[in-house]
Structure formats: C-alpha cells, structure tokens
Amino acid sequence: MGRKTSQGNSVYLDMAINWFKYSSPASFYFLAGKMIPLFSVAAVLFCVVGLYIGFFVAPTDFQQGEAYRIIFIHVPAAWMSMFLYVVMAVWSGIGLAFNTRLSSMVATAIAPTGAMFTFLALWTGALWGKPMWGTWWVWDARLTSELILLFLYIGFMSLQAAIDDPRRADKAGAMIALVGVVNVPIIYFSVKWWNTLHQGATVSLTQSPKMATTMLTGMLIMSIACWMYAIAVILIRTRAIILERERHTAWVGELQGAER
C-alpha cells in the first residue's frame, strides 16, 4: 500500500479511487504534509476575525461588563477539550478493534492538544469565576468533571509514555480513553443534573441562543479557529510520531534526501 516515496505524486492522483491508501502511515505522512499549511492559514485568519469581532464589534454585556469577553476563549477551549477527547477515544477504539497503526498514532497525537485546551478551559474559567462568583474555584459538578477530564488526558499520556512497546502502549491508552469517555456527557449535562454556580449552556441545538448575535458570531468563529489550530498541530505531531515509529523502514530512509 503506497509504501514508496518515489510514487509520491501518483499517490495524490489516486485520491478519489482508493481512500484506504491513507490508512498507511507512509501515504498519510505526505497527505498530512500538504494539509498542514492550509489548516494553519485558516487558523490564523479565523482567529484574527474572531478576536476583532470579540473585542471591537461585540457590545459590552449589561450584566458582566467587559469581563464576559473571556467567553471568546473559554467556551471554544471547553468545547475543544470535550470534542478532542471523544475524537481521541474514537481513534483509539478503531485502533484497538481493527489493529490499524495509524489510528492509534492519531489518538496519541491528540492527547497533548486536548490536555492543553482542558487546562485553558479551567484557567480562563478561574479568571472569569473570580470577578463574577467571587472565587477562583468551587468543587461543583461542572468544574470537578472538567478537572477529571484533565487527569484523564494526563493519565493517557503518562501510561503511554511508561510502556516501551508502542503497540502495547496504544492498547493500554485505548482502554483509558474508552473508559474515560463516559466523563464527557457528565461534563456536558452537569449543569442540568446538579445545582451549580456555572451557568447553563448558552448555545444548544434545541433552543435559540441566549446571547447577542455578534457575541455568538465571535464565539463560533473563535471555535472554528481553535478547530483549525488543533487539526494543524495534531497533524504535525502525527507526522513526528509516524517518523519515530517507522524510522527503520525503507521509506523513511529514502526521505533523508528529500526533506530537511
């Protein structure tokens, strides 16, 4: 399956015909290399537009004054922390079920970025909680379950780092990822199930949004920016992991002349 770099160009021409070609780490390596610049540019553009709307177009909140502007990073970071965990669990599960190396590598590449967004959700939440609730932290359902999510990401990464054989590390990590995925709906519904200081969902599929249109637009554009950034950085990390694990193969050997 498309193992030779000398066939690099024909790999892209075949794109419409054989999608399974990209389940091979070697072909995915080159496809990802082409996609990274696109997602990086998109991330910068969406971020600039989103921040402009967030800071210069969106009006002052009648209740929270300017402090609410933390929302443009807090909500996208919190969404990403949950989405990325689910995506990580899905790829782990596929890797476990079908024994596909690439899916496990992608799962491993997602974890640090997911952990970073989880930390940011907690950090910005603390900085928002202090002026609005009068406290940096409370042990309520939403905050505690988000903290558990951070520990799940850290657990996944340290377990994988502790096991020398990459394929065994993939399997062990997949177990944490799959068991931990029950935490995601708990985070999401925690504001409904328990009494909490945290406000309910501002945006949901069933009701019209409870916020001004410009605020919502800024928040959604910032979310897209976070998605683009996450995809770009995860692809870069996946490429590094592919090189690390495939370094003894012929195609990585051939790469020496081409790259660098």
Q: Name the site residues for another protein (rule: CB under 8 A).
A: 55-56, 59-60, 65-67, 69-70, 73-74, 77, 112-113, 116, 119-120, 123-124, 127-128, 130-131, 229, 233, 236-237, 239-240, 243-244, 247, 252-253, 255-256, 259-260
Which CB sits closer to another protein, 70 or 231?
A: 70
Cβ 45 to another protein, closest distance in Å?
15
Which CB sits closer to another protein, 123 or 194?
A: 123
Cβ 110 to another protein, closest distance in Å?
12
Cβ 98 to another protein, closest distance in Å?
27
Cβ 175 to another protein, closest distance in Å?
25
Cβ 119 to another protein, closest distance in Å?
7
Which CB sits closer to another protein, 29 or 181?
A: 29
Which CB sits closer to another protein, 90 or 127?
A: 127
Which CB sits closer to another protein, 177 or 255?
A: 255
Cβ 181 to another protein, closest distance in Å?
23
3-state SS string over the chain? CCCCHHHHHHHHHHHHCCHHHHHCHHHHHHHHHHHHHHHHHHHHHHHHHHHHHHHHHCCCECCCEHHHHHHHHHHHHHHHHHHHHHHHHHHHHHHHHHCCHHHHHHHHHHHHHHHHHHHHHHHHHHHHHHHHHCCCCCCCHHHHHHHHHHHHHHHHHHHHHHCCCHHHHHHHHHHHHHHHCCHHHHHHHHHHHCCCCCCCCCCCCCCCCCCCHHHHHHHHHHHHHHHHHHHHHHHHHHHHHHHHHCCCCHHHHHHHHHCC
Which CB sits closer to another protein, 60 or 204?
A: 60
